[in-house]
Structure 1
Amino acid sequence: MNTVLLSWKDAEKIFKWAYENKSMMYQFPEPLKNIRLVIEKWEAKIQRYGNKVKIHHWYDGKAKGTQEFKLGIPITIIDNKTDFRGPDKMTMVATYAALMAYMVYAPKEIIKEPAKMAVHAPGGPRKAGKGYTYILHRISNKAPQGGHHRSPQGTFTVRGHHRHYKNGKTIWIREYTKGTGENKERTYKL
């Protein structure tokens, strides 16, 4: 399941954009079907089935219940097994609808300056970092100078080759195919 991490500042920005673009939000686009939405201490597992949305709520690690909504104008509550009252009942589904519309329709800014190549320190094993997929606010139209070849897309074969270890041992790695596995989960940030 993909994860979207937001701060309250990000959520306010998305709501401001959605308020100015209500017609786009009410199209209820679906770039991500099932997501885990995290806004600081709030967490929600959101599952979408056509025009229905089911939301499981947690606050500060404690379960707060589930809700089910039917998307439309207006958004209607089908089932509410939470203690939320008043406008709080609709907050998470409104956040979800605004976020999905923002991911699909928000304009992108263009950056003119070229990107700089990252230089990593030599030696030592690399730590496995936490990978994030950033929701773009801008598009860079210049490639960094120099650098590596672009990674191939989709499925491709890797030629057979020898692997030489530091201790002098040499082994043969036979040809194999990469890119056949399932898509990995992604974490989205603004």
Structure 2
Amino acid sequence: MQDYRSNRERTEKTKAALIAAARALFVEKGYAETSTPEIVAAASITRGALYHHFEDKRALFRAVVAEEAMAVTRAVEQATPEHLAPREALIAGSNAYLDAMRITGRTRLLLIEGPTVLGFTEMKQLDEETTTLTLKQGLEAALSHGRKSGTPVDALADILSAAFDRAALAVDAGGDVDRYREAIALMIERIAD
């Protein structure tokens, strides 16, 4: 049992080191300019260990992006406890999304490099499993609370998700986060009314 646990711990430690090193390099240099020898050197791991854990550089990149998406989802979920009214939860969640996307490099990884490297379909699937799922749940609660059945929640979530992403890109480029928070809150208020 001890060997199994130590092997599992070593595996997780190696994967975490690779993901952390890759994240730093992908943020600094971009996916295309980052080589696997650079990643393994930064992680102090052998190249064989990289390919033992990840099929290729793209698979490692996907792991980095998935970890970033999960971090954003956790931030949104922490900001939206169940006791909040649906409308307030949507606003708190959107604010948490903007805050989470302000982590250095996250916008580049999730909104620029991710779609370029992984493609729209794969990024949309990842998004559906993370932040968009949380958004859909919030919209369903807000709209059912306001008795607006029949609203195409999936399409509405796609549109709002795109608006949130655009706001995150604008804030990352130096835009005033408070103005975007205000605009998003206004949009949510109108949808929920």
TM-score, normalisation: structure 1: 0.22
TM-score, normalisation: structure 2: 0.22
Give the greater-gyration-radius structure (CA).
Answer: 1
Whichever structure has more strand as a proportion of its residues is 1
